[in-house]
Amino acid sequence: MKKTDLQNETLAIQLTDNHDDSGSVANVIYPTTTFKRETDGSYASGFVYTRHNNPNRDQLEHVLAQLEGASCGFAFASGMAAISTVLQTLKPGDHVLVPDDAYYSVQLLVKEVFDRWQLSHSVVDMTDTGAVQSAIKPETALLWLETPSNPQLKVSDIKALAELAHEHGALCAVDNTWSTPILQKPIDLGADVVMYSTTKYFGGHSDSLGGALVLSEAATTQLAEKIKNIQNLSGAVPSPFDCWLMLRGIKTLPLRLNQQTRNAEQLAHFLSQHPKIRAVHYPGLPAHPQHRLAQQQMPNGYGAMLSIQVGSDAKAAMALIGRLQLFTAATSLGGVESLIEHRKSVEGDSSPTPNNLLRVSLGIEHIDDLVADWVQALDGLHE
C-alpha cells in the first residue's frame, strides 16, 4: 500500500511511528546535541550537530511535508521564527503584501524588524483580488496570505492569488495554521510556501511552541537551500523534546480537529441565531461573505475558530468572558481545551480589530455542554 493512498487518520499514525531499531513502539527522544564521528571523518548516522539536524526533527519535518503533499519541510522554534525565515529569503528593496486582517505579529514583524532591512510592505484586503492586483508593484516579491484570517475569519482565494503572484514573478505563501493540511491544502491550490504555527493544532495540547515551513516542488528548487541555511545559521530550531511532543500531537491531529471543527460549526450556528450576538464570523455559515469560496477551498470543514461581536464596546464582551465557565480566558488556540479572548486588548491600540470582538477556539469537549454554557452566560448578560 502506498502511504499517499492512506486516509489522514491512518497516515498520522503510520508516519509518526518509531523508526529506531530498539523495538520501542513509543517514539524515542534523542536529546543529544552532537553525534559521533567515525575514524575516517564520516558520520555513520548522517547527523552532525542538533542545530543542523536531529533524528526527532528530521522525522517531524518529513511528516509535515508528507501530510501536506509537499516536497520538503523545515521545523522551527516557533511560528514567528518560520515567518521570519521566509522574510529573510528576500532581499533589500523587495516589497511584500500582507493581509489587513491576519495574525497581528506578522504586521508588527514587517513594520518593526524588516523595515530596517529595507523590506517595504503594503497592507491589503486579501478578499478583494482586484485590490491585491492594484497593490502589486514591480518589486513585489511575496504575497503573504492567511485564510481564514485572524481574528475576523476573512477567506481569500488562494488559487487566484497564487496565480496573480506568479504572473508578477512573486512568491505566494500561506499561513495555514488555522486549517492544517487536514482541512486545507494550499500547495494543491498553487501556493509556493505553507507556514504553520505548530504550537496550535499540530501540538494540540498548549504545551509546546513550534513552527514549520513546507514547500511546493517549484519552491523547493528555488528556496530550499536558502531556508535550510537560514534555519541552521540563525538557529531558531526546536528542541528534540519539542519535536517529539509535536509528533505525539500529530498522531491525534485528525481526530481532534474533526471534533473541534464539528463543535465550532454547531456553536457558530447557535450563536448566529442568538438575539444578544451582533455578528458571528465563521466561514461555515451561509451568511459569511466568502462562504461559497470556503466551500471549495476547505472541503473537509471550516475549522475550529470563530469570532463574535457582542454589545457596542469592550464592556459587554469582557462581562461575557467572565460569565462563561467552560471557556478559559487566554490567548492562543488549537488546544484540546476551549479558549476565549478579547483580541483587541491583546493586539494593542493600533490594531484594527473591533473592540466588541471575542475570538473563540473550540476544544474537544462535548458540544451540548459548551452550548449550555453560552446559554447561561448570555441569559444573565446585561448589554
57, 154, 200, 256: the active-site residue = 200
DSSP 3-state helix, strand, coil percentages of the chain (rounded to 5)?
A: 40, 15, 45
The residue with its CB nearest to ligand PLP is 79
Task: Choose the stretch contacting ligand PLP; rule: CB under 6 A; options: 16-24, 37-45, 75-83, 226-234.
Answer: 75-83
Give me the least distance between CB of 51 and ligand PLP, in Å please: 19
With CB under 6 A as the contact rule, the residue among 79, 151, 204, 238 that binds ligand PLP is 79
> Is 153 among the residues that bind ligand PLP (CB under 6 A)?
no
30, 103, 201, 282: the active-site residue = 103
Instruction: Give Dmax (Cα) for the chain.
Output: 76
Q: Which is nearer to ligand PLP, 238 or 284 (CB)?
A: 238
| Beta-strand runs (E) in 274-319 | 277-281, 305-310
Q: Which is nearer to ligand PLP, 198 or 263 (CB)?
A: 198
> Is 177 among the residues that bind ligand PLP (CB under 6 A)?
yes
Measured CA to CA, the distance from residue 222 to residue 166 in angstroms comes to: 13
Measured CA to CA, the distance from residue 287 to residue 124 in angstroms comes to: 23
Three cell numbers written together for 26? 513509543
> Is 144 among the residues that bind ligand PLP (CB under 6 A)?
no
> Is 101 among the residues that bind ligand PLP (CB under 6 A)?
no
Q: Which is nearer to ligand PLP, 84 or 272 (CB)?
A: 84
DSSP secondary structure code for residue 232 in this structure? H
The answer to whether 96 and 142 have CB atoms below 8 angstroms apart is yes
Measured CA to CA, the distance from residue 170 to residue 95 in angstroms comes to: 10
Give me the least distance between CB of 197 and ligand PLP, in Å please: 3
With CB under 6 A as the contact rule, the residue among 197, 216, 258, 259 that binds ligand PLP is 197
Q: Is 200 a catalytic residue?
A: yes
130 three-state secondary structure:
helix
Q: Which is nearer to ligand PLP, 311 or 334 (CB)?
A: 334
Q: Which is nearer to ligand PLP, 79 or 311 (CB)?
A: 79
Q: Is 116 a catalytic residue?
A: no
Sign of torsion over alpha carbons 135, 107, 127, 274:
negative
Q: Is 94 a catalytic residue?
A: no
Q: Which is nearer to ligand PLP, 79 or 301 (CB)?
A: 79
Q: Is 103 a catalytic residue?
A: yes
> Is 103 among the residues that bind ligand PLP (CB under 6 A)?
yes
| Beta-strand runs (E) in the chain | 72-76, 95-99, 120-124, 140-146, 171-175, 193-197, 211-215, 277-281, 305-310, 328-329, 339-342, 357-361
Task: Choose the stretch contacting ligand PLP; rule: CB under 6 A; options: 41-49, 59-67, 160-168, 175-183.
Answer: 175-183
Give me the least distance between CB of 78 and ligand PLP, in Å please: 3
Radius of gyration of the chain (CA): 21
* AA letter at 345: S
DSSP string, 158-192: HHHHHHHHHHTT-EEEEE-TTTHHHH--GGGGT-S
Measured CA to CA, the distance from residue 312 to residue 174 in angstroms comes to: 33
Give me the least distance between CB of 35 and ligand PLP, in Å please: 28
> Is 239 among the residues that bind ligand PLP (CB under 6 A)?
no
Q: One symbol per residue from 202 to 221: x for binding ligand PLP (CB under 6 A), - otherwise; what is it?
A: -------x-x----------
> Is 327 among the residues that bind ligand PLP (CB under 6 A)?
no
Interface with ligand PLP (CB under 6 A): 78-80, 103, 146, 150, 175, 177-178, 197, 199-200, 209, 211
Q: Which residues are known to be catalytic?
A: 51, 103, 175, 200
